[in-house]
Amino acid sequence: MLRIAVPNKGMLSEPSWNLLDEAGYALRTNARQLVVEDPDNGIELFYLRPLDIAVYVGRGTVDVGITGRDLLLNSGTQAIETMPLGFGASTFRFAAPADSAIRQLSDIQGKRVASSYDKLVGDYLTERGIDAEIIHLDGAVESSVHLGVADLIADVVSTGTTLRNAGLHIFGDPILRSEAIMIRSPRLDEDNADLARLMRRLQGVLTAHRYVLMDFDIPVGKVSQAVAITPGFESPTISPLHDSQWSAVRVMVPKKQVNKLMDDLYEIGARAIIVTALQASRM
Ligand SMILES: Nc1ncnc2c1ncn2[C@@H]1O[C@H](COP(=O)(O)OP(=O)(O)OP(=O)(O)O)[C@@H](O)[C@H]1O
Ligand SMILES: O=P(O)(O)OC[C@H]1O[C@H](OP(=O)(O)OP(=O)(O)O)[C@H](O)[C@@H]1O
Ligand SMILES: [Mg+2]
């Protein structure tokens, strides 16, 4: 059985549960359950603190886990990033008060930096030859400057609302671009069959979210032009219509491009263009 660690709370928890649910795995039925066995699907789910997941996976006591790239790097463990999961995108940034003299990386020298991600920030500064004091805080890091325990912060930024509310301004390059990822234990072979099946299932869900099925009719002489507009994953399905002058095309297209593609296809003569949502997929 494949042992999977999943966040039990925090920003990444609900999207993780939804992803596993859509991939057909059994979830816990109450918030006090710590482990769920799903023998029919060959997995065991462990609900763990997001911060701890890379520790378990890095030591190989759990085979794979869902976490954030920032949490993985901050853990300093041997767990290996395996695939991005399409949610939980954020950047990790330095920020200081608008009126502060701290405006670029070199200004951090000798200052106090508050963060929940000590190792990530410490490594970043050390690699750049900057010596600063890292003040560890568990959360609400944005309040630390106002409250006088730090001169600047390094924290997760998504919309930037929390920073704005705290009167802080981002400076310098992003320390990291993070998102939710799947990680695997260094003890688990890259081509392990159970891991490959899990990844195919998750990839199938992500594809069903990102792609739609498009059908349209097109004059036979325009098929090549149409296929150039919508090449699909491998190759579109082309079927004959009763009227021998026309073909029917079925192809998968990225959801975000649907309207532009319909415009382009219409202009070359496609008609009866229909778009259908995907319920599930296995690519
Ligand atoms: N606003 C956000 N938008 C996107 N991702 C976020 C956001 N806040 C935190 N994350 C991501 O969530 C992960 C941190 O999860 P964790 O559960 O420790 O913190 P949290 O979601 O802030 O929960 P809490 O602080 O309530 O315990 C990191 O990978 C981080 O990048
Ligand atoms: O850029 P924004 O969209 O405002 O989001 C970023 C904020 O979200 C997270 O905080 P969370 O709510 O998890 O609280 P915490 O600081 O206590 O972890 C993160 O730590 C930032 O504070
Ligand atoms: Mg948080």
Q: What is the pLDDT of residues 215-274, one digit of tens each?
A: 999 999 999 999 999 999 889 999 999 999 999 999 999 999 999 999 999 999 999 999
Q: Which atom of ligand 1 is nearest to the CA of 51?
A: 18
The CATH H-level superfamily of 2-87+179-188 is Periplasmic binding protein-like II (3.40.190.10)
DSSP 130-190: ---EEEE-SS-GGGTTTTTS-SEEEEEESSSHHHHHTTEEEEEEEEEEE-EEEEE-TTS-T
- Ligand 2 centre and the CA of 162: distance in Å? 7
* CA-closest residue to ligand 2 atom 17: 139
Tokens (6 digits) for 194: 């159970």
Q: Which atom of ligand 1 is nearest to the CA of 11?
A: 21
Domain with CATH 3.40.190.10 in the chain: 2-87+179-188, 90-178
pLDDT for the residue 181:
98
Sort strands 2-7 and 43-48 into parallel, antiparallel or unpaired.
Answer: parallel
Structural contact between residues 111 and 153, judged by C-beta atoms closer than 8 angstroms: no
Confidence of residue 76 (pLDDT cuts 50, 70, 90): very high
CB of residue 162 inside a 6 A radius of ligand 2: yes
- Whose tokens are 């886990």? That residue is 65
- Ligand 2 centre and the CA of 157: distance in Å? 7
CA diameter of the chain: 78
pLDDT for the residue 63:
98
CATH class of segment(s) 211-277: alpha beta
Q: What is the pTM of this model?
A: 0.93
Span 174-203, average pLDDT: 96
pLDDT in tens, 18-40: 999 999 999 999 999 999 999 99
- Ligand 1 centre and the CA of 19: distance in Å? 17
Span 47-68, average pLDDT: 97
CA pair distance 13, 198, nearest whole angstrom: 18
| Arch. (CATH architecture) of 90-178 | 3-Layer(aba) Sandwich (3.40)
CB of residue 33 inside a 6 A radius of ligand 2: no
Q: Is the pLDDT of residue 96 over 90?
A: yes
Q: Is the pLDDT of residue 4 over 90?
A: yes
- Alpha-carbon distance values, 8 to 60, 106, 175 (Å): 19, 38, 26
CA pair distance 269, 221, nearest whole angstrom: 10
Percent share of the chain, pLDDT over 70: 100
pLDDT for the residue 283:
86
Domain with CATH 3.30.70.120 in the chain: 211-277
CB-neighbour burial class of residue 189 (10 A; exposed 0-12, middle 13-18, buried 19+): exposed
CA pair distance 114, 94, nearest whole angstrom: 10
* CA-closest residue to ligand 2 atom 19: 156
Confidence of residue 138 (pLDDT cuts 50, 70, 90): very high
CB of residue 51 inside a 6 A radius of ligand 2: no
CA pair distance 175, 43, nearest whole angstrom: 35
Tell me what the pLDDT averaged over the chain comes to: 97
